[in-house]
Amino acid sequence: MNTKQLRQKILDLAIRGKLVPQDPNDEPASVLVAKIRAEKERLIKEKKIKRDKNESFIFYGEDKSHYEKLPFEVPESWTWMRLTDMAIVALGKTLDKQKNRGEYNPYLRSVNVRWGHIALDDLKEMKFEESELERYNILEGDLLICEGGEAGRCAVWKNQSVSVKYQNAIHRVRFYSGINSDFYMYALWHYNNSHILENYCKGVTIKHLTGQALDLLYFPLPPLSEQHRIVSEIERLFLLIDSIEENKQSLEQVIKQAKSKVLDLAIHGKLVPQDPNDEPASVLLERIKAEQKTKKQTADISHYPFVVPESWVWCRLNDIANIALGKTLDKQKNKGEFKTYLRSVNIRWGHVDLDDLKEMKFEESELEKYNILEGDLLICEGGEAGRCAVWKNQSVSVRYQNAIHRVRFYAKINSDFYMYALWHYNNSEILEEYCKGVTIKHLTGQSLNLLYFPLPPLSEQKRIVSQIETIFNQLDEIEQSIKA
């Protein structure tokens, strides 16, 4: 169970009366109902509210059974009520720049009302007349519910120092008789999680929780003291979950930093010890150049990014591999039969994603040219330029597009080592110095051939890759355990 599911479970238990024990000394909810009705009668006599012609009552039989369709069972000391029977529910003011009069005042929109808190960093203003200020005022403890957008999303107003009004995209719920508005915020949160709420929302593209729909919803009403205990326990448990999530984020960051450090040590030749019996990399490089009939290149040592062991040498990628871009997609000009191909979006760090393969036409003469073989290193030319993975899917036959460099190494050089080298170059921002472009970065073939890479002895390449993968697997296991 993850932390999101844990929160949902806590709310489920809370709203069903199973999170805290019932106290037989609590004044039962039926008494609270009587107090609410008495308060409403007083306000009606004072002409502050109008009598609700549709006020509803839950009728229980002698066997404690009820005849209304209620969402779930609750403890005997609880009862059920509609929100409109235990609170004054009112929509806010309509924004109409042509008709609105008065002075400018800040007001809340539905975008300001988040789950459990109010965001005040983007308040708008509209005109309110003097006679409207009290009508559209928000007091501490008011429950604010979104009418549209994510209909039902809600929060309790607790900002006494800020004076704001509210728009007609929000229901303001002002409870009678000291009812705990936080309890009903959590109740709505549970109704949203358990899909009860969506049965009452109207609309296809944008859902709305109208006043009429809200009036149809029944909510459990616990004794007042129990409401406070439930809210207190929810908040205590949610704080613990917040702490767990913060620790998870911290640990995930530590794991990311640890992987980066492992790559740094690996590419500097400090992850595994050098073996004096290994064939030096200089001999390997000379052999490759002889086989490929390329001239020996000399370079200024100051161009090298860092110091490497004596048994290593520096080289460019095109000294040790054949590098080629894939085929250009041109629906007008492409001929041949449709074949699946890789785009840069399929290349992730360390793996190739085959979930969304496209097809384009390849002629018979192009099939081998744009083929991908096991061990080919595939590097993104654009997007997140330099992102790369090694092809290991022997059972799948694919080609590749010109947004990808295919790097095919000579002399059994370990392509995983150079995948990790590029990963390190990306982490340490070496790569970005070679990428072109402002909005979208590109690692062109010319730029790729300017990059210097360390070349360890073949045997050491394998030992380094094996050690990286061992450590990464251990770190991945830790990361998966904290996400479970």
> 88 to each of 70, 92, 201, 311, 364, how far by Cα in Å?
22, 13, 20, 81, 75
Q: What tokens does 451 get?
A: 């990059």
- Average pLDDT over every residue of 165-194: 95
CATH number of 274-458: 3.90.220.20
pLDDT for res 159: 83
Whole-model pTM? Answer: 0.65
pLDDT exceeds cutoff 80 at 57: no
Please report the pLDDT score of residue 55 as a whole number.
Answer: 66
Give me the mean pLDDT over the 253-267 stretch. Answer: 93
pLDDT at 448 over 60: yes
First to last CA, the chain: 6
Higher pLDDT, 449 or 64: 449
Domain ranges of the chain: 3-231, 274-458
Give the pLDDT confidence score for residue 439 in this predicted structure.
80
Note the pLDDT of residue 227. 97
- C-alpha to C-alpha distance for 161 and 297, rounded to whole angstroms: 72
CATH architecture of 3-231: Alpha-Beta Complex (3.90)
Share of the chain above pLDDT 70, in %: 94
Q: Cα–Cα distance between 414 and 375 in angstroms, integer?
A: 8
In the chain, the largest separation of any two C-alpha atoms, in whole Å, equals 103
Residue 51 has pLDDT above 90, yes or no: no
Question: What is residue 394's predicted lDDT score, i.e. its pLDDT?
Answer: 77
CA angle 361, 367, 368 (to 5 degrees): 160
Query: What is the total residue count of the chain?
Result: 484
Q: Taking the CA atoms of the chain, what radius of gyration do you get in angstroms?
A: 33
Averaged pLDDT of the chain:
91
Evaluate if residue 440 carries a pLDDT over 90: no
- Per the listing, tokens 């929780």 go with 209
pLDDT at 222: 97
Q: Are 205 and 211 in contact (CB under 8 A)?
A: no
DSSP line for 261-284: HHHHHHHTT-SS---TTSPPHHHH
Classify 285 in phi/psi space as left (phi over 0), alpha (psi -120 to 50) or beta.
Answer: alpha
Residue 63 has pLDDT above 70, yes or no: no
- Band (pLDDT 50/70/90 cuts) for residue 264 is very high
**pLDDT, tens digit (0-9, with 9 covering 90-100), for 201-235:** 988 778 899 999 999 899 999 999 999 999 999 99
**Among 203, 154, 163, 149, which residue's Cα sits nearest to residue 181?**
154
* Residue 59 clears pLDDT 60, i.e. is over it: no
Within this chain, domains 3-231 and 274-458 share the same CATH topology: yes
Q: What is the pLDDT of residue 298?
A: 47
What confidence tens digit (pLDDT) does each residue in 387-433 have? 999 999 878 899 999 999 999 999 999 999 999 999 999 999 999 88
The percent of the chain in helix, strand and coil, each rounded to the nearest 5, is 35, 20, 45
Question: Mean pLDDT: which of 118-122, 183-187, 296-300, 480-484 is highest?
Answer: 183-187
What distance in Å separates the CA atoms of residue 15 and residue 183, rounded to the nearest whole number?
8
Range of lowest pLDDT (358-367, 455-464, 475-484): 475-484
Between residues 149 and 385, the one the model is more confident about: 385
The span from the CA of 378 to the CA of 400, in Å, is: 9
Which residues are CB-contacts of 483 (< 8 A; sequence separation ≥ 6)? 2, 248
**Range name among 53-57, 99-103, 212-216 with the lowest pLDDT average:** 53-57
What's the rounded Cα separation, in Å, for the pair 29 and 389? 63
Contact 90, 226 (CB under 8 A): no
Confidence band (pLDDT; 50, 70, 90) for 144? very high
pLDDT band for position 60 (cuts 50, 70, 90) = low
- What confidence tens digit (pLDDT) does each residue in 152-166 have? 999 999 987 889 999
- Sheet containing 124-128: order of strands: 124-128, 103-108, 165-166
- As given in the structure block, the two tokens for residue 406 are 């295919």
Residue 447 has pLDDT above 70, yes or no: yes
